[in-house]
Amino acid sequence: MEPKTRNKRAAIAAAAALFAAPMEGLRQYAYYDPPGILTVCYGHTGSVVKGKKYSVDECKALLAQDMMHAVDMVDRCVPGLPDPMHMAWADAVYNIGPKIVCDPKASTAARLLQAGKLEEACHQLPKWDKARVGGVLVALPGLTKRRQAEKDLCLS
C-alpha cells in the first residue's frame, strides 16, 4: 500500500476513534455489555482479561488498533467512500461488526453500498440499533443515538 493511502486511512481511523470514544465511554476494568459480551476500555471485545485494570494508554492503543481494522474492513468491502461516509461506516463496523457493510445477503446497507447508492445506504444506519438482551432483540437507547449520529456524519 502506498504511503499516501496508508496516511489517509490512518487519518480516517483517528477521526473515527474520536467519534467513537465518547459514544463508548472509558471503562478500565472488564464488564459485560448489554448483550453479555466481555468488554473493556472504549468497547474493545477481543482478548479481554477479566479483573485486569487497563491503563488509559492501553485503552487508547486498543481503540486505535480496533478502529484501524474497522477502517480497513470498510475499505475492503466498499472502496473509495468519501471520508465522512468512511468514518461513519467504520464506527458502525467497530461497534457491531463488518456484516453491516460487507454482507449483502444480511444487510440492505451493504447491498446499497455495493450498488453505489451511498445516501440511501446512510439511511439504513438507524435500523441497526438493536441487540440481543436475554435472548430478545431490543432497541438500545445508546445504539439508537449512536446510529443517528453515524447517519448524520454519513450524510454530511
Residues noted as catalytic:
24, 33
**Distance of alpha carbon 129 from alpha carbon 138, whole angstroms:** 8
Return the SS3 of 15.
helix
Residue 68 phi/psi, 5° resolution?
-60, -40
